[in-house]
Structure 1
Amino acid sequence: MGSGTWRKAYGALKDSTKVGLANFNSEYKDLDIAIVKATNHVECPPKERYLRRIHFATSASRPRSDVGYSICSLARRLSKTKNWIVALKTLIVIHRLLREGDGTFKEDFLNYSYRGTILQIPQFKDDSSPLAWDCSAWIRTYALYLDERVECFRVLKYDVEADRLVKLPQASGKAHSRTRTLPCGDLLDQLPALQKLLLRLICCQPEGSACTNYLVQYALALVLKESFKIYCSINDGIINLVDMYFDMQKYDAIKALEIYKRAGHQAEKLSAFYDHCKRLELARTFQFPTLRQPPPSFLVTMEEYIREAPRVSTASKSLESEEQNLPSDIEDEALQETEKPVEEEKQEPAEPEEEAQPAPEPVEETEPIPAVTTGDLLNLDEEVNPLIANIEKSNALALAIVAPGNENKASTSLDLFALDKSGWELALVTAPSTHTSQPVDNQLAGGFDKLLLDSLYEDEARRQQIIAED
């Protein structure tokens, strides 16, 4: 017995065992049996009678618990198998339910995909044969496409394949998809999601021995059917985008230009994908559309418009309108804050006027300081004996400067020298007098001023300093 025959027998044994367990231990016996038989190890597409049972269990008329159990059973079947036939048939069943099921199943499937990674099987591989190896690579790509299909449904809020074409009177009665009439904001959100889905679809190109496998071609036929609707939606969206392009703001125009360029590159890749599929056996039942590239001259015009487009986008416009509709409380607070500094500036000049009145007081306090320094130098402010005071009153010290012809004054000066030596010396060196408040305390005997005497001492000190430096 060859290895291939042994694997088929082992797979058939596992299927029959699971069917027997479902008959005795499952509350959803019919549903479990239908899932096992629809995804068995036989290399052929799922049978329609089992698909109808699964479809009925996931319809809107059934309880949501039945729908959840169906999704969990299919996810468990896909995650536990190591056989490429079982994995591919499970993905085909999920794809058929997404295409033919109602909107409630798509929403339930989307909610369940948030809690668990149903369609993400990057580690799946079956290396039992070269065919299994090539088919495993295509199964991983096919699962990514189905996962992106669910994500596109989340963004668009509708299924592209189930969307009906609408005839527009301004388009000469031709049928168009929903993207032909979308506003600018929704169009810029939905077109990138559709282009991601188309990119995943183009990657579903089988290679190696998988190209000639009938089961792979069956699943590829489902993908090709959806490619026509996806391309039509993108094409209508591009036409709508071009019509609104020269009225867009700069940020929106940049996004639109990127979408337009991406659409041109994807058209080339999709054309190559169609050429590859035309060589397969499944191409006999398909009529492939003719893809046209956008004119490259229009790209230059779009890029020139971006340089001159205004910078405010549609999103910022809505924010500005909301800010204009806000209450004027913020403006009132700003006005109050600006008025407060003005009032403070008005009050600040009044403060120096109040402080200007006690200003003379520190001047009066500093007046005794120079008097003390001069008294320390010459000790002229000490009290003198009564005899010296009488001599000062009679101005007897005027002999220091006696003009010729004033003999009577000279005689008085001789009398002064006839006195005790301490008389005129004490007049120069005695302690300061207590009569400091009198206006004559700055005048020495003979009419000399103390400040003048201080300047003489300072001049002499400077001359001595100059001589010492020489």
Structure 2
Amino acid sequence: MSGGGTQNSLRKALGAIKDTTTVSLAKVNSDYKELDIAIVKATNHYERPAREKNIRAIFAAISATRPRADVAYCIHALARRLSRTHNWAVALKTLIVIHRALREVDPTFHEELINYGRSRNHMLNMSHFKDDSSPNAWDYSAWVRTYALFLEERLECFRVLKYDIEMDRPRTKDLDTAELLEQLPALQQLLFRVLGCLVASESIKIYQAISDGTVNLVDKFFEMQRPDALKALDIYRRSGQQAERLSEFYEPPASFLQAMEEYVREAPRSSAVHKDQADKPKEVLAIEYKKTPEEQEKRSPSPPPEPEKVEKVEDPIVEPPDLLGLNDPVPVASELDEKNALALAIVPVAEQTTAAAAPIPANGTTGWELALVTAPSSNENATAASKLVL
């Protein structure tokens, strides 16, 4: 086990060295050095997803606004990357870049890719690819070959339909008999490849197009000549077989359903939903408490108008003038304490400390009243007080 792990680590290190060397050569010798560097980095030997910025750099090079020579060079660089590698991670990343380009770049890339395949051996022909560096790599190699077949069939379907089934609206509902007999087999073959490599997202629109086309085909079936009727019959049979397989593909496993049923029988009776609902009134009360008065006035319904009350008007009471000042406002107690404290400022400091330290009488006498009670009344103190005032 340790020897196999060491060999695997060594292969990864060699792959990283190859990537670094290729990037260095591209910086010196390539006329498209930025594109070459982006391709190498997006399809490197590391077994993790490529960085999005490198993929976007590739997509910018194959857009419809770029010269066709630049697009052709990018396709050639991707094909060279596929043909020279024996590492499953590099091959898979390159196929993912091509697949995403078919989905995210304009249809001109499809046409350039088809033209490249006509002039040379098809770049997606991966039937002989294998990575025998480990048992896992061997399994990944099989999936890489299946994935490449799916992308190749996707291009073929685009060539027949003249549009991308994943990017555009299916048009099989309105086709005539000749177009149906040509396009439905291409769609069925594409669905066959989809089910082979489990690209679930692609199967939905393909099956929708096949279903629309099959209904259209059945409407025209009894008006067909014998050769066309035989082709239509084969298409209809295959549609039924693929529908059966798709239902198995999306059907939940019976074992998992059985496990869920067993859990339901033994699950706790209390429900977390009820607990959450019980807690909700507390949250509502807290929210209502924090509302501003303006919001409460806006949201609270206006109270019904109260009935008018008839008030009895009485003659005003004429009070006699306050000659003794009995109605003057009562001064605040704190103000009185403050004035009295100023008046008692003549008391010596030592005696003030003694008075402050004295315990509070039980009758609750405090402040200036206590100072008056505890202050000495001898003549010496009066003389000292007069000196302080002077």
* Aligned partner of residue 111 in structure 1, secondary structure: helix
Higher mean C-alpha deviation, range 62-71 or range 240-249 = 240-249
Q: Does 1:122 align with 2:98?
A: no
| Structure 1 consecutive aligned stretches of length 4 or more whose deviation exceeds 6 Å | 276-279
Q: Does 1:89 align with 2:93?
A: yes
Distance 2:91 2:191 in 1: 23
Higher mean C-alpha deviation, range 66-75 or range 45-54 = 45-54
Find the counterpart in structure 2 of residue 351 from structure 1: none
Contact 1:55-1:101 at 8 Å conserved across structures? yes
Distance 1:276 1:35 in 2: 40
CA drift of 1:4 comes to 2.3
**Cα 1:8–1:99 shift into 2, 3 Å:** same
Find the counterpart in structure 1 of residue 44 from structure 2: 40
Find the counterpart in structure 1 of residue 65 from structure 2: 61
Q: Percent identity?
A: 60
Q: Number of aligned pairs?
A: 250
* Aligned partner of residue 197 in structure 2, secondary structure: coil
* Aligned partner of residue 137 in structure 2, secondary structure: helix
**Cα 1:19–1:277 shift into 2, 3 Å:** farther
Distance 1:83 1:270 in 2: 32
* Aligned partner of residue 106 in structure 1, secondary structure: helix
Structure 2 stretches lacking a partner, 5+ long = 256-390
**Cα 1:278–1:57 shift into 2, 3 Å:** farther
Report which structure shows greater RCO (CA 8 Å, sep ≥6): 1
Find the counterpart in structure 1 of residue 238 from structure 2: 262
CA drift of 1:269 comes to 2.0
Find the counterpart in structure 1 of residue 197 from structure 2: 204
Find the counterpart in structure 2 of residue 376 from structure 1: none
* Aligned partner of residue 5 in structure 1, secondary structure: helix
Find the counterpart in structure 2 of residue 208 from structure 1: none
Find the counterpart in structure 2 of residue 159 from structure 1: 164
CA drift of 1:48 comes to 1.3
Find the counterpart in structure 1 of residue 222 from structure 2: 246
**Cα 1:46–1:275 shift into 2, 3 Å:** farther
CA drift of 1:246 comes to 2.2
Contact 1:74-1:90 at 8 Å conserved across structures? yes
Write the deviation string for residues 217-262 of structure 1: whole angstroms up to 9, x where unpaired.
xxxxxx2211111111101111111122222222222211111001
Q: Does 1:147 align with 2:140?
A: no
Contact 1:191-1:259 at 8 Å conserved across structures? yes
Distance 1:11 1:21 in 2: 15
Find the counterpart in structure 1 of residue 171 from structure 2: 178
Find the counterpart in structure 1 of residue 249 from structure 2: 273
Write the deviation string for residues 82-134 of structure 1: whole angstroms up to 9, x where unpaired.
00000110111111111111111110100001122200111111111111000
* Bigger CA radius of gyration: 1
Amino acid at match of 1:136: S
Distance 1:45 1:267 in 2: 33
Amino acid at match of 1:236: D
Find the counterpart in structure 1 of residue 21 from structure 2: 17
CA drift of 1:275 comes to 4.6
CA drift of 1:195 comes to 0.6
Distance 1:270 1:200 in 2: 12
CA drift of 1:180 comes to 0.8
Alignment of 1:29-428 (within 5 A): 29-115=33-119, 116-164=121-169, 177-205=170-198, 223-275=199-251
CA drift of 1:270 comes to 2.4
Distance 2:164 2:37 in 1: 29
Distance 1:197 1:132 in 2: 26
Distance 2:253 2:225 in 1: 41
Q: What CA RMSD, in Å, does the superposition of the two structures yield over aligned residues? A: 1.8
